[in-house]
Structure 1
Amino acid sequence: MYKIFVGDKPMVLSTETSDDKGVKNYKLSRVLLRNVIRKLNESSLEEARLVHKNEKKLLKKFLKKLPNVVAGGGKVYNDDGKVLFIFRNGKWDLPKGKIEGKENIEETAIREVEEETGVTGLEIVKPLETTYHIFKRRGRYKIKITYWFEMKTSFDGKLYPQEKEGITKVKWLGKKKTKKALKNSYANIRSLV
């Protein structure tokens, strides 16, 4: 099972339909994604379930339905155990961005964290789950596939929000402040943190 977020509402890829209230089932092979996205955005529908009999082909078949944007990002811890957050478009988020040129996804994740926050000395500890969300650019829907990594750093310098990317704040947040920030974040970020 996979979850692809449209805002905070999930499209669930599954081999089984759901009878739950607020869930609408669709056959993955026949679904028009723009109609499902519109329904999730404009109705009280809580979840769209896209069903296919072959579990191994669920994600592959889904990803063919829209252009893919591949990104890398980091859940970064400092020596005090605080997590690095950015504030962009009125929400708390983790730093991430699109792959460039021939860099591998780990290089992308480190570069994006550095560019968006000013933090250096990053070391990848381990990969985290991959998240998927749908967004709209220039009138077209796309699927962002973000590969996340847990990182650590001993950096204790000044934080610099990348303003040209719409980032207005960068903060190290402890457990209490992280919990508060997640109330004003995205569903895929809450699942990571």
Structure 2
Amino acid sequence: MYKVFVNEKKLLISKNQENLEKSISFESFTTLEIALDLLENTSTSELNVYGENIDEIWKEFKKLFRIIEAAGGLVSKPNGDILFIKRLGKWDLPKGKMEKGESREESAVREIEEETGLREVKLKDFINTTYHIYTERNGDKVLKYTHWFEMYFDGKDTSKPQIEEGITEVAWKNRNQIENEVFPNTFKNIQLIINELYFKN
């Protein structure tokens, strides 16, 4: 199953039909174009494309886009606080585009250190990959894969925002602040990854 966010709306690609606002059985490449059009140009907020061969559907779906891979992390302190950045007025997790020759892990650590000013962030486990779609200024449609890792920090707090990347704030947030300050002002894929790791119970 693949969850893709299209302008903060959910597209679910699955083997079996899911109980969402709209569901379309996969027949051909055109099915995917129709699904995207519904999410981008109508009030439909969630849509399910389903079919027996999910790998084939995903392969066809990727043909619609230029693929960009990024990596980032959920960094926690011993007290459980999580590290966030503020960019373009929204709370986000530190992440960025992978460079040629880098592993996902190397990229995630590098991006966190660059965007937040922290050093000696310790890598723990892979969490998941999220997918979202956006359109670049030149009109290119991009499917962005972001590979997320759980990380740990127990050193001297040298955090400072990477202003040249449009980051205006770096802040540690506790569970209460995440639910009341971050969640109302962040992206759906960020909520998804935080819920997956921290708020399962």
| Aligned 8 A contact 2:26 2:50 in 1 | yes
Find the counterpart in structure 1 of residue 59 from structure 2.
Answer: 60
> Helix, strand or coil for the counterpart of 1:100?
coil
> Helix, strand or coil for the counterpart of 2:109?
helix
Q: CA 1:31/1:156 → structure 2, altered by over 3 Å: closer, same or farther?
A: farther
How many angstroms does 1:140 deviate by? 1.2
- Aligned equivalents of 1:24 and 1:65: distance in 2? 20
Find the counterpart in structure 2 of residue 105 from structure 1.
Answer: 104
> Helix, strand or coil for the counterpart of 1:31?
helix
> Helix, strand or coil for the counterpart of 2:64?
coil
Deviations 1:26-77 (A, max 9, x none): 6363237566444323422021222332134343332232111001000001
Give the TM-score normalised by the residue count of structure 1.
Answer: 0.90
Q: Please tell me the residue identity of whatever aligns with 1:178.
A: I
How many angstroms does 1:3 deviate by? 0.5
For structure 2, list consecutive stretches of 5 or more residues without a partner in the other structure: 195-201
Q: Please tell me the residue identity of whatever aligns with 2:186.
A: S
Tell whether 2:11 aligns with 1:11: yes
Find the counterpart in structure 1 of residue 175 from structure 2.
Answer: 175
Find the counterpart in structure 2 of residue 46 from structure 1.
Answer: 45
Tell whether 2:91 aligns with 1:92: yes
Deviations 1:123-166 (A, max 9, x none): 11100011000011121110000110000011332321112221
> Helix, strand or coil for the counterpart of 2:179?
helix
- Aligned equivalents of 2:118 and 2:25: distance in 1? 44
| Aligned 8 A contact 2:161 2:170 in 1 | yes
Q: Please tell me the residue identity of whatever aligns with 2:126.
A: P
Aligned length: 192
Find the counterpart in structure 2 of residue 124 from structure 1.
Answer: 123
How many angstroms does 1:90 deviate by? 1.8
Q: Please tell me the residue identity of whatever aligns with 1:150.
A: E
- Aligned equivalents of 1:88 and 1:103: distance in 2? 25
Give the TM-score normalised by the residue count of structure 2.
Answer: 0.86
- Aligned equivalents of 2:161 and 2:2: distance in 1? 32
Find the counterpart in structure 1 of residue 69 from structure 2.
Answer: 70
Aligned CA RMSD, in angstroms, stands at 2.0
Q: CA 1:78/1:59 → structure 2, altered by over 3 Å: closer, same or farther?
A: same
> Helix, strand or coil for the counterpart of 2:29?
coil
How many angstroms does 1:101 deviate by? 2.0
For structure 1, list consecutive stretches of 5 or more residues without a partner in the other structure: none
Q: Please tell me the residue identity of whatever aligns with 1:157.
A: D
- % identical aligned pairs: 36
- Aligned equivalents of 2:150 and 2:19: distance in 1? 36
| Aligned 8 A contact 1:29 1:52 in 2 | no
Q: CA 1:42/1:64 → structure 2, altered by over 3 Å: closer, same or farther?
A: closer
